[in-house]
Amino acid sequence: MPTPAVTAEGLEKRYGEVRALAGVDLTVDEGSLVGVLGPNGAGKTTAVRILATLLRPDAGRATVAGHDVMTEPDAVRAAIGLTGQYAAVDENLTGRENLELVGALLHLGRRAAKDRAGELLGAFALDDAGDRPARTYSGGMRRRLDLAASLVGRPAVLFLDEPTTGLDPASRIALWEVVEGLRRDGTTILLTTQYLEEADRLADRIAVIDGGRVIAEGTSTELKDRLGEDVVDLRIVDAARTPEAIGLLRELAAADPRVDAATGRITLPVHHGAGILAEVVRRIDGAGLEVAELSLHRPSLDDVFLALTGRSAEAAEAAREVAAPPRRGLFGRRRGAAATANVEPVPAVTTEVTA
């Protein structure tokens, strides 16, 4: 039996009217990487903050590295690393100085702190930039420095809260490689993400979270078996004949086809998409139907959501935002964004509902 490094049972958390966590159960086995996949507002950061002892749950239990997060927070803190924990990566210090400072805070001793900083700069491809002030770093470099800072104390368990949100594709891939290296070296990792592709690539197991609950859990293959590895999107010119098209295509689908009532777009989860595409076209043509749009793509978080909940991730997010209007702090800034453990605010993924 694998040893669990992280366990959560029935975690609940309310913020006033908002039920951020409605009973989260989760296990991360030692040395594995679990991806917590969910849209904005699903409860990912709240769960991570509870596991990292930064927030007390209203109900439920959790352990990290064998220690109870509520009764043994110091032991938990000694075992973990959290990205964004030192969100105050000091802009005016160099990358090296930032890492040495974390080492000093952890009482590593001068020599050991220096060595560890050098080692991490090398491992994260920051040696060239190591002696430049952090304010000159790109977003991707900053994220790597933040991750490096969380590793100074060689944590057994690492929490990565949306580590690649807002990064450009090249930086995202570079960060994935770093995370894969950590996983290979035996670090237990809990990573939250909004990207199915990211969970797919990195995670041994994926927990899909929505509305403060885990709504599906399994390996990427298990989830895809429920979903199909590919998705065909299709729109018929004569919208009135959409049901007829669905009738023709249903037996090609890996799961129930869905129709977006507003656009008439048919979404067909399939296995072996490339092979099936030709058959889709044959059947549609054969019935004298005209195609307005046809595409084949890998399932996105939105497709997973559609398959699991019957509504899109965007709709889930919008529903939550309406229930809990964006919180504004001083000067009208979103407080929620600052509370997440990301290093940079990421406006690209924030859906504002204008009332």
Ligand X SMILES: Nc1ncnc2c1ncn2[C@@H]1O[C@H](COP(=O)(O)OP(=O)(O)O)[C@@H](O)[C@H]1O
Cβ atoms of 250 and 269 closer than 8 Å: no
85 binds, among ligand X, Mg ion, none (CB under 5 to 8 A by kind): none
Nearest approach, Cβ of 324 to ligand X (angstroms)? 5
Q: Which residue has the tokens 């064998």?
A: 66
Q: How far is CA 149 from CA 53, 172, 191, 289, 321, in A?
A: 18, 18, 17, 58, 33
Closest residue to Mg ion in the complex (CB): 45
State in angstroms the smallest separation of the CB of 145 from ligand X.
22
Residue number, 218 or 336, with CB nearest to ligand X? 336
Distance CA(306)–CA(317), nearest Å, equals 13
Least distance between Mg ion and beta carbon 14 (Å): 17
Dist CA 80 CA 82 (whole Å): 7
Q: Are 208 and 223 in contact (CB under 8 A)?
A: yes
Q: Which of 53, 85, 267, 340 binds Mg ion (CB under 5 A)?
A: 340
Can you tell me which of 36, 37, 43, 45 binds Mg ion, judged by CB under 5 A? 45
- The residues binding ligand X (CB under 6 A) are 15, 18, 20, 38, 40-46, 320, 324, 327, 336, 339-340
Residue 20 interacts with which of Mg ion, ligand X, none, CB < 5 to 8 Å by class: ligand X
Of the candidates 21, 45, 141, 39, the residue with the CA atom closest to the CA atom of residue 349 = 39
Q: Identify which of 306, 232, 256, 269 has the alpha carbon closest to the alpha carbon of residue 39.
A: 306
- Residue 288 C-beta: closest distance to Mg ion, Å: 49
Contact status: 32 vs Mg ion (CB under 5 A): no
Find which of ligand X, Mg ion, none residue 63 binds, CB within 5 to 8 Å per kind: none
Whether 229 and 271 have beta carbons less than 8 Å apart is answered as yes
* For Mg ion, the closer CB: 53 or 340: 340
40 binding partner (options ligand X, Mg ion, none; Cβ < 5 to 8 Å by kind):
ligand X
Least Å from the CB of residue 270 to ligand X: 29
Choose from Mg ion, ligand X, none: what does 311 bind? Cβ within 5-8 Å by kind. Answer: none
118 vs 336 by CB, closer to ligand X: 336
Q: Which two tokens stand for residue 288?
A: 């004298």
Sequence-ordered list of residues with C-beta below 8 angstroms from that of 324, at least 6 positions apart, any chain: 15, 17, 18, 41
Closer residue to Mg ion in complex, CB, 94/340: 340
Cα torsion 327, 330, 335, 341 to 10°: value is 180
Which CB atom, from 38 or from 95, has the smaller least distance to ligand X?
A: 38
Residue nearer to ligand X on the CB measure, 241 or 327? 327
Contact 303, 231 (CB under 8 A): yes
Q: Which helix (H) or strand (E) holds 209?
A: strand 205-210
Q: Which is nearer to Mg ion, 126 or 160 (CB)?
A: 160
- The item of ligand X, Mg ion, none sharing an interface with residue 15, based on CB under 5 to 8 Å by kind, is ligand X
**Dihedral of alpha carbons 80, 74, 51, 71, sign:** positive
Q: Which is nearer to ligand X, 54 or 291 (CB)?
A: 54
Chain contacts with Mg ion (rule: CB under 5 A): 44-45, 340
